[in-house]
Structure 1
Amino acid sequence: MQVWSIANQKGGVGKTTTVVTLAGLLAEVGYNVLLVDLDPHGSLTSYFHYEPDDLEHSVYDLFVATKDVTESQVNALIRPTNVEKIQILPASTALATLERRAVEHEGMGLQVAKALRHLTDRYDYVLIDSPPVLGVLMVNALAACHHLLVPAQTEFLALKGLERMIRTISMINRARKKKLTYTIIPTFYDRRTQASVRCLRELHKCYPDELASAVIPVDTKFRNASMKGVVPSELDSGSRGVHAYARLLRSLIEQRG
């Protein structure tokens, strides 16, 4: 089971779109995929028509358990989606209260990693959607994953958020036994604008080894898929955006061997 976390310390860079599109492409070729929503806003949860405000049980339960959760308890939290091979561990808005709890209770940084150990034989891939804030939820996402995906919008303000994320990765790597590898994914690219072109050039200059060769373009099909609650490849498998993510996925699978 491969665990990929999708994170950046800036919102609006395409994290949820990246999760949903990659999940759809993985499911399309027969992989069983679990999505884990760690963002209190619950965009990934809402995408699949679950309401974060109304869920009685969610990923939040992993953090408030008095002892390590069992396999059956983890399985009880997982919900189906409208894609047969994709399931989701949804978020609830109660996640927003966890930072306060984390101060009172030590050892909350590994809750997701511990829960996923029960699922290694059930899924081929786990994709974790992380909030854009460095805190207990992002720490869980980084601690649980084998590889990190960092979507970075191709505009210059987004580069500042990326710099913060790279510093966070360095900090995490000082505490990990095995170095956390990462791939930076250029998103919202519009080759018609100088801002996008110059920003992509800067990404190549600053992160030549970590930058994905696939560049994700601005594509209205992503928004249309979100409105319908379907994965983008189901809405239009031939769209520019889906093709770019398919290229990204091929390179990620090749990197992991």
Structure 2
Amino acid sequence: MEIWTVANQKGGVGKTTTAITLAGLLAEQGRRVLLVDMDPHGSLSAYFGHNPDQQSLSSYTLFEQRESLNPNLVLSTCKPTDLDSVRVIPASMALATLERQAIGRDGMGLVIGKALAMISSNIDVAIIDSPPLLGVLLVNAIAACEKLVIPVQTEYLALKGLERMLHTLEMMARSRKSRLQPVILPTMFDRRTQASVSSLRQLRNQYGDQVFPGKIPVDTRFRDASKMGRFPHRMNPVGHGVTDYRQFLKWFAGSAPLEQVS
């Protein structure tokens, strides 16, 4: 099993779209995929019709029952999507209370990693969609993963958000046995605007080989797929956005190891 995390401390940069699209494309390759929604807002969960206000079993359950975690409990939180080979652990609004609960409690930053390890024989790739705030949820998402994707909208404020995210990774590197080398994925690129073009150029100049050589364009078909609750590649398999995500997946999966031992 591989664990990938999609993270950025700025919202609205395409994290959920990235997680869902990659999951669908992995399923297209015959992989068994588990999406894990760690955002209390539950956008990924709602995408598949799982209302975060109404979940009795969710990613919050894993924290609530952390002392008695077992494979059956973890599997009971997995819900279906419209693809048989992709399941989702939905979010619950109760996730928003975890910061208060985590104060003074050991091991709260490793819950998701331990839970996923218990069902590693049931899945090939787990993809964690994380919240845009530094806290116990983002810490769990980063601590659990082996590969990290940071979607960055090609506009100035998103570049500032990337700086905060990379600073967070530097802080967390002290508690990991190995250092994560993230991959930066330029998203929402609009070649018609100078702001988008110059932001992409700045990304490449500043971060070099960490940046995916391509980019994900603005594509309204992602919005259409969201309204239907379907994976984007099933709505339009040859659309510009899906085609570029397919290229990213090929590059990401085939790139050099992303973990550099400290």
Give me the TM-score of the superposition, normalised by structure 2. Answer: 0.96
Cα deviation, 1:70-98, whole Å, max 9, x if unaligned, reads: 11111111111111110001101000000
Within 5 A, what are the aligned runs for 1:31-110? 31-65=31-65, 67-110=67-110
Contact 2:151 2:187 in 1 (8 A): yes
Q: Tell me which residue corresponds to 1:154.
A: 154
Within 5 A, what are the aligned runs for 1:1-257? 1-65=1-65, 67-255=67-255
User: How far has the Cα of 1:68 moved from its partner?
Assistant: 4.2
One-letter amino acid matched to 1:76: S
One-letter amino acid matched to 1:245: Y
User: How far has the Cα of 1:105 moved from its partner?
Assistant: 2.1
SS in 1 for 2:246: helix
User: How far has the Cα of 1:104 moved from its partner?
Assistant: 4.0
One-letter amino acid matched to 1:193: T
**Higher mean C-alpha displacement, 102-111 vs 1-10:** 102-111
Contact 1:146 1:181 in 2 (8 A): no
Residues in 2 aligned to 1:216 and 1:173: alpha-carbon distance in whole angstroms = 29
Residues in 1 aligned to 2:66 and 2:238: alpha-carbon distance in whole angstroms = 48
Return structure 1 stretches of 4+ with deviation > 2 angstroms.
none
Query: CA, structure 1 residues 181+250, in 2 after alignment: closer, same or farther (shift >3 Å)?
Result: same
Residues in 1 aligned to 2:142 and 2:196: alpha-carbon distance in whole angstroms = 28
SS in 2 for 1:67: helix
Residues in 2 aligned to 1:167 and 1:47: alpha-carbon distance in whole angstroms = 31
One-letter amino acid matched to 2:73: Q
Query: CA, structure 1 residues 66+9, in 2 after alignment: closer, same or farther (shift >3 Å)?
Result: closer
**Higher mean C-alpha displacement, 76-85 vs 9-18:** 76-85
Query: CA, structure 1 residues 92+213, in 2 after alignment: closer, same or farther (shift >3 Å)?
Result: same
One-letter amino acid matched to 2:93: T
Cα deviation, 1:170-210, whole Å, max 9, x if unaligned, reads: 11112211111210000000011000000000000110021
Residues in 2 aligned to 1:87 and 1:104: alpha-carbon distance in whole angstroms = 33
SS in 2 for 1:148: strand
Q: Tell me which residue corresponds to 2:260.
A: none
Residues in 1 aligned to 2:9 and 2:69: alpha-carbon distance in whole angstroms = 29
Residues in 2 aligned to 1:211 and 1:189: alpha-carbon distance in whole angstroms = 14
Contact 2:66 2:111 in 1 (8 A): no
**Higher mean C-alpha displacement, 165-174 vs 195-204:** 165-174
Contact 2:21 2:242 in 1 (8 A): yes
Cα deviation, 1:45-74, whole Å, max 9, x if unaligned, reads: 000001100111111011112514011111
Residues in 2 aligned to 1:143 and 1:63: alpha-carbon distance in whole angstroms = 15
Residues in 1 aligned to 2:147 and 2:221: alpha-carbon distance in whole angstroms = 27
Residues in 2 aligned to 1:254 and 1:234: alpha-carbon distance in whole angstroms = 24
How large is the Cα RMSD of the aligned pairs? 1.0
SS in 2 for 1:126: strand
- Consecutive unaligned residues of structure 2, counting only runs of 5 or more, are 258-262
Residues in 2 aligned to 1:196 and 1:79: alpha-carbon distance in whole angstroms = 37
Contact 2:189 2:218 in 1 (8 A): yes
Residues in 2 aligned to 1:134 and 1:209: alpha-carbon distance in whole angstroms = 26
Residues in 2 aligned to 1:240 and 1:203: alpha-carbon distance in whole angstroms = 21
- Aligned residue pairs total 257
